[in-house]
Amino acid sequence: MYRKKILVAIPVFNETNVSNIVRGVKNFSLDVLVIDDGSTYSLREELLNVENVHMLVHPRNLGYGKTIIDAYRYAIKKRYDYLLTIDGDGQHEPEEIPLFLNSIPFYDYDILSGSRFLFPFKPGEDVPEDRYRINRKITRIVNQITGFGLTDSFCGFNMYKVEQLKLLRLTEYGYGMPLQVWMQAWRMGLRVREIPVKLIYKNLAKHFEGALEDPDTRLRYYKSIIRKELGDAEHSNITLCRTNKTLKY
């Protein structure tokens, strides 16, 4: 159906009904890679009846960022043209994949990023308040630095030109890994465009593990990633900000 070679990567850690998501993706005749981040049940057995699914399995939980880094590396190694990432927890719907596919080939951008907040909505029952608030703060900081004009810096529903992923040197294994992507994409001169995707929170009670459950700790962690990338940029003699605005941390 599509002349370009496309891979869809699905990170999974103890999510249920992953096989339904995989089948939904395969309805579009796309290659599928599932990255099992140390799930405590046999995900491989769940996918036994789904044909032609590639899997990478971490022996233990290494972090969301590591699953995406592995997806990037796999796509590069196998020489795919495009990589689409979609979360395995049901918060992204495979039915929206054509929104990305219909934009191929990308001429004017390198990353097509889904946004749950591109259109205005009222925070409340649809999204945990602290996640929305932190997303807004971090997105504003990222935009001040990069000029990307993002509305959602943490959406996992994205498509990339694989050739451009070769420019990134990613090391962040945690939930803040997308921020490292944005900062390095800016440094490398990559171009970004957003498209609207549905705002879905299947489980409003879902929480972060350990210290990141505290919103203030989580916010400091995200900011620390941005600061580190800015430090790396400074050491590489790259202009830290292309505007005269003062960054507010």
Per the domain annotation, does 28 fall within a domain?
yes
Per the domain annotation, does 222 fall within a domain?
yes
Per the domain annotation, does 73 fall within a domain?
yes
Per the domain annotation, does 182 fall within a domain?
yes
pTM (two decimals) = 0.89
Per the domain annotation, does 246 fall within a domain?
no
Per the domain annotation, does 1 fall within a domain?
no
90-115 average pLDDT score: 94
Of 130 and 166, the structure prediction assigns the larger pLDDT to: 166
Identify the domain containing residue 212 by its residue range: 6-235
126-143 average pLDDT score: 91
DSSP string, 49-85: TSSSEEEEE-SS---HHHHHHHHHHHHHHTT-SEEEE
Per the domain annotation, does 153 fall within a domain?
yes
Per the domain annotation, does 247 fall within a domain?
no
Share of the chain above pLDDT 90, in %: 70
Q: Is the pLDDT of residue 215 over 70?
A: yes
DSSP 106: P
Q: What is the pLDDT of residues 31-66, one digit of tens each?
A: 999 999 999 888 888 888 888 899 999 999 999 999
For residue 83, which phi and psi values (nearest 5 degrees)?
-125, 130
Share of the chain above pLDDT 70, in %: 87
Q: Helix or strand or coil: residue 112?
A: strand
CATH (domain of 133):
3.90.550.10
What residues does 35 pair with on adjacent strands? 11, 56
- How many distinct structural domains can be found in the chain? 1
Of 6-15, 25-34, 87-96, 207-216, the poorest mean pLDDT is in 207-216
